[in-house]
Structure 1
Amino acid sequence: MGILSKIFTAVRGAASEGGQAVVDHQALRILDQEIRDADRALSQSRTDLASLIAERRMADSKIVDIDRRIAEYEAHAGAALQRGEEKLATEVAERIAQLESERAAAAETASHYETNERGLRETIRKTEANLRRMKSQVDTVKATASVQRAQAAVASRHSGAQSRMQNAMDSLDRIKQRQAKQSLQYEAAEELQREETGADLDARLAAAGIGGAPGGASAVLERLKAKQLGSATEDRPTAAIEGPRRQIT
């Protein structure tokens, strides 16, 4: 079948669907229409077969009727011969010959009908078998197409989910990078501020043990101990001088 015939079949298939939404591939729609055409041809073949059967049966009935009439005329001819009616018997014999000629024609017609009937029956049988096999295969193809569409939809959703997940991860990475960059910027700004105020230099001198006053509780405690020790040392000479003075008095 040529491409134009395929297109025409597709158009007729779309018309027969009555506006139903086309979900299958174009080839499936064409195949559906071709199967419908085959079904209609098969239905017409069954009608033709019924007509052939009727014609063959009519021919058979005609043969039976001719055989009955021939038998009657043969009986009449026999009776005429018994009565010596030679001329009448001859006329009856001519009628019998005519009926036998009609019977031969009817038998030939019946045989023709019977031959066509057998051929058409075989064609219908093969067509029905092929159609059953074809419809089964089409159902399998449609089921496979449906499964593949579902798989494609799942794959598409999975791909979309993966894409969205990847986008989210990329966004998260960008946020982390931006935050890390901001932290480094803040640290750099603090370093610059310390350099400008000299705090960085003081910190480095203190770490080296240069300059700066000790601080903290330990330093205060040591200072208090030193002060107390100094006070005690100053009190001892005064006591030694006052002692002898009391003795002199």
Structure 2
Amino acid sequence: MNVWSKMLTALRGGANEVGEAVVDSQALRILDQEIRDSDVELRKSKEALAEIMAKQKLASDKVNKSAASIAEYEQYALKALDAGNETLAKEVAEKIANLEVEQASEREQAEGFAASVAQLRKAVTQAEGNIKRLKQQVDTVKATESVQKAQMAVAQRYGGSQAKLQTAVESLERIKQKQAERAAKMEASAELAATSAPDDSLEAKLRAAGIKADNASADSVLARLKDKSKA
């Protein structure tokens, strides 16, 4: 296979895939239309069945009417024979023969209509069952489609909320991290301040313990002045 043939095959394959995708996306709409078309054909079949049933009834009525006529003329023939009028009886017999021929034709026609009615009844019943099952399946598919769409919507909303929640958690963690860093810096600054003037800290501790007097206290100044006055 040369390059152009391969390219043509690839294009046909791509077109087929696109066509299948379009059909799949419109599957429910296509099914609904097919069901409507089937309903139309079923209605036409029922109308045809009604027409054939009407013709069958007319044909059966003709058969019954012919049978009644035959029975009537048979009585006439018998009466002619009883009267000794064989010529008239033969003429009546010819009439009966013609009626029997007509009756046979009408019976055959009626039987043909009856066979057609039986076949068409069976076909209509099967079609009704098939359409009913198809409608049930389509309803099930539609219900499943609705449920799945709802589930997808919930999943998408849940996914979005989860993403937002994750973002909020990450922001909270960053805030905590910054607070911890600030606290560590403040603690480090305090430690640095304490270590930068150890003597001042020690002096403060001694004065606080009462071990060392404050140089700038009033008592120390007054004591010093008294010592000077005595001298």
- For normalisation by structure 2, the TM-score amounts to 0.70
Unaligned runs of 5+ in 2: 1-15
Match of residue 86 from structure 1 = 86
Identify the residue that residue 98 of structure 1 maps to in structure 2: 98
1:221 counterpart (201, 214, 219) = 214
**Residue 73 of structure 2: SS of its match in structure 1?**
helix
Match of 2:197 in 1: 206
Give how far 1:60 is off.
Answer: 0.6
Identify if the C-alpha distance between structure 1 residues 136 and 230 changes in structure 2 by more than 3 Å, giving closer, same or farther. same
For residue 137 of structure 2, what is the aligned residue in structure 1? 137
8 Å CA contact retained: 2:66, 2:103? yes
Distance 1:204 1:67, change over 3 A: closer
User: Structure 1 pair 212/30, CA: closer, same or farther in 2 (3 Å)?
Assistant: closer
The 10-residue stretch of structure 1 (146-155 or 168-177) with the greater mean CA deviation from structure 2? 168-177
For residue 28 of structure 1, report the CA deviation from its aligned partner.
0.9
Q: Secondary structure at the match of 1:221?
A: coil
The structural deviation recorded for 1:174 is 5.2
SS in 2 for 1:145: helix
**What's the counterpart of residue 3 of structure 2?**
none
Matched, 1:44 2:44: yes
Identical aligned residues as a percent = 42
Output the CA distance in 2 between the equivalents of 1:203 and 1:133: 90
2:13 corresponds in structure 1 to none
Report how many aligned residue pairs link the two structures: 203
Change (3 A) 1:233 1:123: same
- The 2-side partners of 1:76 and 1:212 are apart by 156
**Partner residue of 1:16?**
none
Task: Return closer, same or farther for 1:106/1:233 CA change in 2, 3 Å cut-off.
Answer: same
CA distance in 2, matches of 1:128, 1:152: 36
Which has the higher mean CA deviation after the structures are superposed, 69-78 or 58-67? 69-78
Which residue is equivalent to 2:76? 76
- 1:163 matches 2:163: yes
- Unpaired runs of 5+ residues, structure 1, are 12-23, 192-199, 239-249
Aligned mates of 2:55, 2:68 — CA distance in 1: 20
Contact 2:194 2:201 in 1 (8 A): no
Equivalent residue, structure 2, for 1:147: 147
**Cα distance in 1, alignment partners of residues 88 and 98 from structure 2:** 15
Deviation of 1:80 after TM superposition, in Å, equals: 2.0
* Paired letter, 1:50: A
Structure-to-structure mapping, 1:8-87, within 5 angstroms: 25-87=25-87
Tell me how far 1:177 sits from its aligned partner. Answer: 6.0
Aligned counterparts of 1:88 and 1:212: Cα–Cα separation in 2:
162
Matches of 2:57 and 2:70 in 1, distance apart? 20
Higher mean C-alpha deviation, range 211-220 or range 81-90 = 211-220
Structure 1 pair 145–83 and aligned structure 2 pair: CA distance change class (3 A): same
C-alpha change, 1:80 and 1:213, in structure 2 (3 Å) is: closer
| Aligned-residue CA RMSD (Å) | 3.6
CA displacement 1:164-208 (0-9 Å, x = unmatched): 233334445556667777x59x98xxx8xxxxxxxx8x975632x
Whole-angstrom distance in 2 between the partners of 1:212 and 1:128: 104
